[in-house]
Every structure is written in C-alpha cells, then in structure tokens.
Amino acid sequence: MKTRILGKTGLKVSEIGFGGEWLERHETEESVELLKYAHSKGINIVDCWMPDPKSRDIIGSAMKGCRESWYVQGHIGSTYQNGQYVRTRDLKYVRPAFEDLLNRLKTDYIDLGMIHYIDSVDEWNKVMSGDFITYVHELHEKGKIRHIGLSTHNPVIGKRAVRTGFIEMILFSINPAFDMRPATEDLDTMWGGYDDKYAGIDPERAEFYRMCEENNVGLTVMKGFFGGALLDKERSPFGVAFSPIQLVHYALTRPGVASILCGYDTKDQVDAAVSYENATDDEKDYASVIAAAPLHSYKGQCTYCGHCKPCPAGIDIAMVNKLYDLASLQETIPESVREHYKALEHTASECIGCKGCESRCPFEVKIAERMKKAASLFY
C-alpha cells in the first residue's frame, strides 16, 4: 500500500482508506474483523462521522493494541440524540458526543478533529464566530485532537476553510459526476439531472483543488463512487459504468488528494479497492469512459489521466499540465509550485513537438501548445 502526505498535517496516510458508515450494518464481530483485515492490507486511515455507539465501539475494538498505527478522522458536531444522528453546534450535545467518541475508541486523542459537515455560508459564519469553534481550538490546544480538519461537499466552503490557515485538511466529495456540478449549499441537488451545460470540471471546484495544493491543505475523499451510481450503467449520469479502480484513480489524480475513503461490507470489497495498488494503466483508465459519454465531454481539458504517455522526451506530461494549471491563473507563481516543477526530471522546455501525445489524448487537449506555455511560464 502506498502512502501520501496529508497536507500540512505531515501524516503518511494510505492511498486507500476506510469510510466507516457501513460498519453498523453487520454483527459487531464481523465488522471488527473487517477493519482488522483492511489494516492488514495497509489501510491506516478511518473516518468516524457516525455518532452511534455500535460503530464507535467497533472501531475502538479493531484498534485495540495498535492505536498508534491508525489515523482517525473523528467528527465534532455529529451527535446521537434519542437514538438518532443529529448534526449540531450546541455544546450541550457536542461536548459529551466527543467525549463519547474518545471513550468508545479507547483513546485519549483523535488524529484529525473534523469540524463536521458545513455546506452553507450561513452555517459557516455561525460556526466560525461562536463557542463551537472556540471548543475546537481548545481540543487542539489540549492535544485531544492533533490536527483540525473539516468536512464539506461545497467548494465555496472548502475555499473558506483553506483561507483560515488553521484548517489543515478537508474531507471532500470527489468523483467525475460531482466535479461537473456547480457549487451548492444543498447536497440533494448534487444527485439531480445532468445536461451538457455542465460539461467539464466546474471552475469553482478546479479553483478549490488549486488552493488546496498551493496552501498544502490535504484532501481525503468521500462519495468517490457517487453512492454506487457510477458503478451502475443505468444510474450513472454518464450512461456508462465505471469500475472501482477507475474511480479511485480519478480521485487520487486530483490536486491535493491524499486518500480516498471507501465503504466496505466485505473483505472482497476491501480486496477490490486495494487491488488499485497493482492495477495496470488500462485498468485505471477513467478517461475513456468520460470521453465516450454523449453529454459530458471534458473536451479541451486535461484531467491528468496519463493517456498521453509515453513521451519520447521522458516528460511527465500529466504532472506538467497539473502544475501549469495550478500556476497559470496566479499573478505570481507560488514557490511551492515552482519548486515542484524544478524538481521534475524532464520539464516542458524539452518537448520536441512531435504531438504523439495529442493523438492519444481522449479530450483533444492541445498538449504541445500547453508545453510551450508551461516552458514560458516556468522559465
């Protein structure tokens, strides 16, 4: 299992993570064994947004004796009231819910203390000016949370989180379908109909990814499979089905992403996700699926899919394009981006203009022209 640095947290998290919300569906012993099995395959990050006692007890039992080898995303503001999940900022409920999380996980700290689920600007303003955020900082100062994170589905909120400077990582919903959708404060609208006016990556989302990369704010991914809809031709907004490996690869090729947190019911599903680590380029190829969709072409946009390989000059074209996109909209090139570019073994200035890459690009990107622009930008 490969690991990636989760932004400024410095944590080395597994590329494939564990989204825990399905744990309560099964018998306790079965779910404990599933988590242990995932850990044996190299998975070391688990998300626990769930407030119910059963899910939390399962994670605590699975981590017993190996707590230090797990990274936990524990949510602040996810509470259990009268047998139901309730998202709240009322400290009367928030404090005991967090203490319950520590107790049931059998730990005295949470690696990633997540400000739970903000999608609207109004709620953002309330959270950031009230006693809730004061409590979050208190937990951080006391070491009960090692790093401050946030979960959202809205890139507008994501950008605000990046600008705070104290939010070190974000749990964000990423998949090819969501990336075409404009920012919204209503998650339900993300599941509505699609049409050709949403072709390509939404600029708001592209800007959010760029800001995360530039500011070293790490991303972990939720809803990578669109609730399973992208795995099913009949439910997929593209009219075609993706494989789990293709969707994992899509998420992991977005700027700033460190880990995709998948939900699992069985060990076979764990194996299917982890098989990404040994998958071929053909198995990872999400671009051909998108390019073949009738209404949702990313024509002219580089999605960093790697179809352009191999380059006779040895240039990592996808990476050059990613760095070019991160830098081109800025008045000055961020030093972190410039240093990443300078560290490349082969840069855009070495492009010989053969355009062999263009013949392989599913999205008809004018790659040779972009290489000239990149070479000029990073001169």
Q: Does residue 157 have a pLDDT over 90?
A: yes
Give the number of other Cβ atoms within 10 Å of residue 352's Cβ.
12
267 contacts 220 by C-beta, under 8 angstroms: no
| Beta-ladder partners of 220 | 171, 259
Q: For the segment 60-105, what is each residue's pLDDT rounded down to a tens digit?
A: 999 999 999 999 999 999 999 998 898 999 999 999 999 999 999 9
Q: How far apart are CA 177 and CA 289, in angstroms?
A: 12
Q: Does residue 213 have a pLDDT over 50?
A: yes
End-to-end, the C-alpha distance of the chain in Å comes to 36
Q: How far apart are CA 3 and CA 235, in angstroms?
A: 32
pLDDT in the model for residue 298: 63
Q: How far apart are CA 355 and CA 359, in angstroms?
A: 7
Percent of the chain with pLDDT over 90: 64
Q: Is the peptide bond before 334 cis (omega within 30 degrees of 0)?
A: no
Q: What angle do CA 191, 73, 230 make, to 5 degrees?
A: 25
Q: For the segment 223-257, what is each residue's pLDDT rounded down to a tens digit?
A: 898 878 788 888 777 788 899 999 999 999 999 99
The residue among 169 and 343 whose pLDDT is bigger is: 169
Q: Does residue 197 have a pLDDT over 50?
A: no
**b/e per residue 242-270 (b: at least 16 CB within 10 A):** bbbbbbbbbbbbbbbbbbbbbbbeeeebb
Give the number of other Cβ atoms within 10 Å of residue 151's Cβ.
26
Q: Which residue has the tokens 């609207």?
A: 120
Question: Taking Cα atoms as reference points, which of 17, 15, 34 lies closest to residue 25?
Answer: 34
13 contacts 256 by C-beta, under 8 angstroms: no
- Which residues are within 8 A (CB) of 219 and not within 5 positions of it... i.e. 6 or more apart? 7, 169, 170, 171, 172, 174, 209, 212, 254, 256, 257, 258
Range 123-131 average pLDDT: 94
Q: List, in order of start, the domains of the chain with CATH numbers.
A: 3-292 (3.20.20.100), 317-377 (no CATH)
Range 38-48 average pLDDT: 98
Q: Which helix (H) or strand (E) holds 75?
A: strand 71-76
pLDDT in the model for residue 183: 66
> Checking DSSP bridges between strand 145-152 and strand 45-48, what pairing results, if any?
unpaired
Torsion, Cα 147 153 155 156, to 10 degrees, reads -90
361 contacts 307 by C-beta, under 8 angstroms: yes
Q: How far apart are CA 34 and CA 269, in angstroms?
A: 10
Q: Which residue has the tokens 């899919």?
A: 305
In which region does residue 70 sit, left (phi positive, over 0), alpha (psi from -120 to 50) or beta (all else)? Answer: beta
